Amino acid sequence: MLWVLDLDEDIESDLHHIHGVWTDLDQDEFGGFSAERLFSLIERLPAYSGVVAARIHSILEEEKTRNPSRAAQEQPGSDMGDGTTAGLRNNPQLAGIVEVVQV
């Protein structure tokens, strides 16, 4: 399973590009946001067309190759979720790939 926090450099890039937030997660610099607010933004990153979503898409494609039965379960045209915590948790494409946790 891939934890979104395993993608720290990708997260920092998407936070800046998508949300305009400068962070340095290695230095515990959260762009002036509380940890709760920052994680609410991070949870949404798979729903946008950024590097985090691209990495998840790549992992899903690799999983389809390794496990053809998973590919048959997916619905054509489905996206990565609606960006809400509930949407990300309930997205069948992300099950077992991304873990969304509350802090």
Query: pLDDT at residue 50 above 80?
Result: yes
Domain ranges of the chain: 2-99
Q: Over the stretch 2-17, which tens digit does the pLDDT of each residue have?
A: 555 578 888 889 998 9
- For residues 40 and 95, which has the higher predicted lDDT (pLDDT)? 40
State the pTM of this model.
0.56
- What per-residue string of b and e applies to 65-74 under the rule 16 or more CB within 10 Å gives b? eeeeebeeee
Q: Sorting pLDDT into bands at 50, 70 and 90, what band is 77? A: very low
Amino acid 83: pLDDT: 58
Mean pLDDT across the chain = 75
